[in-house]
A and B are shown apart, each in its own frame.
Chain A
Amino acid sequence: MMAQFFSIGWQNILDIALNTYILFRLYVLFRGTNVLRVLLAMGALLVFRQVAFAMGLVITSWVMQGVIAVAALVIIVVFRNEISLVLKTRDLKSFFWGIPRQQLKTPVGIIVESVYELARKKIGALIVLPLSKGMESVVQEGIPWQGKLSKEMLVSIFWPDNPVHDGAAVIQGNRITDVGVILPLSKRTDLPSRFGTRHRAAVGLAEQTDALIIVVSEERGTITLVRNRQMYDINDSRVLEKLLIQHAGGDTSTGDIKKRTRDLAIAATVCLVCVTGLWISFSRGVETLATHDVPIEFVKSDQNMEVFSSSASSVRLLVSGSRPLIRSLGPDRINVKLDLANTTAGQTSLSVGRNAVSLPPGISVKSIEPSMIDVFVDVPLKKEIPVQAFWVGRLSTDLIMTQVAITPRRIIVVGPSQVLEDIDTLFTQPISLDGIAESGKITAGIAFTPSTIRPEDQKKSEVQLEYTVRKRNTPDS
């Protein structure tokens, strides 16, 4: 098993690495959102289905497969807003590479100044800074604003005579996207009695999302920050600024960076383990059989030697493995190599063993056909050999063929030394004498037999014959 694992091909390593990265990116983009939780649940369902399939629970695995398919659709429909938010708020670089923070571009200083201005003037305010979870499903849509964030703008939104001052203002990046947004109220009973509706709305939103909410009390002019069910009374602008920077992902304290790096490393490791496990489960799944015709590759230790003939140019392999692996098994991933290291010049029989077959991990050879290959190995030589006409048929009885001139008279052929030793003549393909009535010219191909020989110049595989015939002298003449 370990040997098989370490003999893993580069394609499989790339396969695992790519999928690990994709999984890791999905985690980075959707962490903290409900989408990730549902994706994790789907992953668990997938594992459950694999286990059920391996145990032979056909119907269960079939149902699980259906559930997973439906869940994929449900995710897209139900979480379309969150998915859309994640995709819209990322540029291409942060989508594929960076570790994005939702509020990184938020002008924290302007918010702090605005909040303190509002508090000083005792103007009630409710400011929402969403992070990664979409809020569309929990808030009642306000009025789209899409205005650039400024202190004056923020203060004017919450000015008591403004029609939208009762709702919340949503800040994303450096823009106020919505105003007059109605937030869900918390049903908690342990909230301090001094908390009014604004505070209760802030807590209600924090209970359901990861947004940060700033509340400015109209009565007391106090500032309260609500995040993750936690409430902070803000007495110092520096504290507010720090909390906002933290929320925006801009906190660069060593401990925080270490924690974030550790979390990402753990996430990456988990992704790697999951994908590797998935790959192993695929590679060791239900066995499927397939046949492949694979060309034989001869490995020469002596570069001067050449294989001139082989009883078979390919072998038929019956391979087994899991269905996905068998399906992904392309011809480029199967090799049959026969080593000619111990062969001598001449005819040799080579055994095609399983060690000659190279397959990706998880796939094994069941049978090889043929299991023996006869090869003719020799050192190639060149030899200049005369060409002779090979006449067939019958020349008219009143004619005599007195001369045949062949051009070229000799051809250089390449072939195994042992074969060339025995060849003194090259013959043309059979040329019919039937129908010859006078002298003439004809072109004929050369029969390169045995097949282990070939012309040095492939263009010189034909010759031209110029033949001379004359009338036969009759006894009377």
Chain B
Amino acid sequence: MDKIPKMKTSIGICGIFLVCLIAAATGVPPGWAQDPDVAIESVYKAPVLVQAEMCESIERFNPVNSAVVFSMSLGRVYCFTSFDPVFEETVMFHRWFRKDHLISNARLVLNPPKWASFSSMQLRPADKGPWRVEIVDSRDNLIKTLRFSISD
């Protein structure tokens, strides 16, 4: 009976020694192994863009009349994006540029498992010319650029 505590003590010492040995072998110091930032970085999975189009309208969450030239007479132009899969709730940005000048930055929330979303721009006579929409993720990574023109 008296030996049991001694064994526990020796097992405990051996356990500590083993942990230290494994830590030394893997290069991870015991007690620092769970760095929170590194852990988040490693698990982040960007949503996958499967469709991105400029269109004249949206009907039943589908783009209608995808094009690269839009008439001013339409009054509004849409940027449709669809992601599959979406691994976790995240945000996506639609940045609208007219001739390299940022006009609008639309923030869109994406939810798992897949999500489609769109932004739109009201057209004014002064908006004629070349445009582009940059689709950017929450970490400011440019995913795609859509280029189009607004004509008479």
Among residues of B, the one whose C-beta sits closest to the C-beta of A423 is B100
Q: With A and B bound together, what is the CA distance between A50 and B149 in angstroms?
A: 76
Query: Which B residues are CB-close (under 8 A) to A146?
Result: none
Q: Check B130–A388 contact: CB distance below 8 A.
A: yes
Query: Which B residues are CB-close (under 8 A) to A402?
Result: 66-68
Query: Which B residues are CB-close (under 8 A) to A400?
Result: 65, 67, 69
Shortest C-beta distance, B78 to chain A (Å), equals 14
Query: Which A residues are CB-close (under 8 A) to B130?
Result: 388-391, 425, 427
Known A-B contacts A400-B65, A423-B100; the reply to A390 vs B149 at CB < 8 A is: yes
Among residues of B, the one whose C-beta sits closest to the C-beta of A425 is B100
Q: With A and B bound together, what is the CA distance between A386 and B97 in angstroms?
A: 14
In the complex, per-residue mask of B67-82: 1 if CB is within 8 Å of any chain A CB, else 0: 1110100000000000
* Nearest 9 pairs of A and B residues by beta carbon: A391-B149, A401-B69, A394-B152, A400-B67, A388-B147, A390-B130, A388-B130, A404-B68, A391-B69
Q: Check B152–A393 contact: CB distance below 8 A.
A: yes
Q: With A and B bound together, what is the CA distance between A394 and B130 in angstroms?
A: 14
A15 within 8 A of B: no
In the complex, per-residue mask of B121-152: 1 if CB is within 8 Å of any chain A CB, else 0: 00000001110100000000000010101011
Residue in B67, B99, B128 with the greatest tally of chain A CB atoms within 10 Å: B67
11 example contacts (A-B, Cβ-Cβ < 8 A) are as follows: A390-B130, A392-B128, A393-B152, A395-B71, A400-B65, A401-B67, A401-B69, A402-B68, A404-B147, A433-B151, A473-B65
Contact of B151 among A391, A424, A472 (CB under 8 A): A391
In the complex, per-residue mask of B18-50: 1 if CB is within 8 Å of any chain A CB, else 0: 000000000000000000000000000000000
Task: Give the bracket for the number of chain A residues in contact with chain B.
Answer: 20 to 34
A358 within 8 A of B: no
Q: Check B68–A401 contact: CB distance below 8 A.
A: yes
Known A-B contacts A425-B130, A473-B65; the reply to A389 vs B71 at CB < 8 A is: no
Query: Which B residues are CB-close (under 8 A) to A424?
Result: 97, 100
Task: Give the bracket for the number of chain B residues in contact with chain A.
Answer: 10 to 19
Interface of A is mostly: loop
Q: Check A425–B132 contact: CB distance below 8 A.
A: yes
Query: Which A residues are CB-close (under 8 A) to B129?
Result: 390
Shortest C-beta distance, B45 to chain A (Å), equals 28
A161 within 8 A of B: no
Known A-B contacts A401-B68, A403-B68, A473-B65; the reply to A392 vs B152 at CB < 8 A is: yes
Q: What is A's interface to B at a CB cutoff of 8 Å?
A: 386, 388-395, 397, 400-404, 422-425, 427, 433, 467, 472-473
Q: With A and B bound together, what is the CA distance between A390 and B152 in angstroms?
A: 12
In the complex, per-residue mask of B89-133: 1 if CB is within 8 Å of any chain A CB, else 0: 000000001011000000000000000000000000000111010
Among residues of B, the one whose C-beta sits closest to the C-beta of A387 is B147
Shortest C-beta distance, B140 to chain A (Å), equals 15
Q: With A and B bound together, what is the CA distance between A351 and B68 in angstroms?
A: 50
Residue in B71, B147, B149, B152 with the greatest tally of chain A CB atoms within 10 Å: B149
Q: Check A393–B65 contact: CB distance below 8 A.
A: no
Shortest C-beta distance, B104 to chain A (Å), equals 16
Shortest C-beta distance, B65 to chain A (Å), equals 6
Q: With A and B bound together, what is the CA distance between A50 and B87 in angstroms?
A: 100
Shortest C-beta distance, B48 to chain A (Å), equals 23
Q: With A and B bound together, what is the CA distance between A305 and B129 in angstroms?
A: 34
Residue in A392, A422, A473 with the greatest tally of chain B CB atoms within 10 Å: A392
Among residues of A, the one whose C-beta sits closest to the C-beta of B69 is A401
Query: Which A residues are CB-close (under 8 A) to B99?
Result: 425, 427
Shortest C-beta distance, B96 to chain A (Å), equals 13
Contact of B132 among A388, A403, A423 (CB under 8 A): A388
Shortest C-beta distance, A303 to chain B (Å), equals 31
Q: With A and B bound together, what is the CA distance between A393 and B129 in angstroms?
A: 10
Query: Which B residues are CB-close (under 8 A) to A472?
Result: 65
Q: With A and B bound together, what is the CA distance between A393 and B149 in angstroms?
A: 11
Q: With A and B bound together, what is the CA distance between A401 and B71 in angstroms?
A: 11
Among residues of B, the one whose C-beta sits closest to the C-beta of A401 is B69
Contact of A389 among B66, B97, B149 (CB under 8 A): B149
Query: Which A residues are CB-close (under 8 A) to B149?
Result: 389-391
Residue in A388, A403, A404 with the greatest tally of chain B CB atoms within 10 Å: A388
Query: Which A residues are CB-close (under 8 A) to B132?
Result: 388, 425
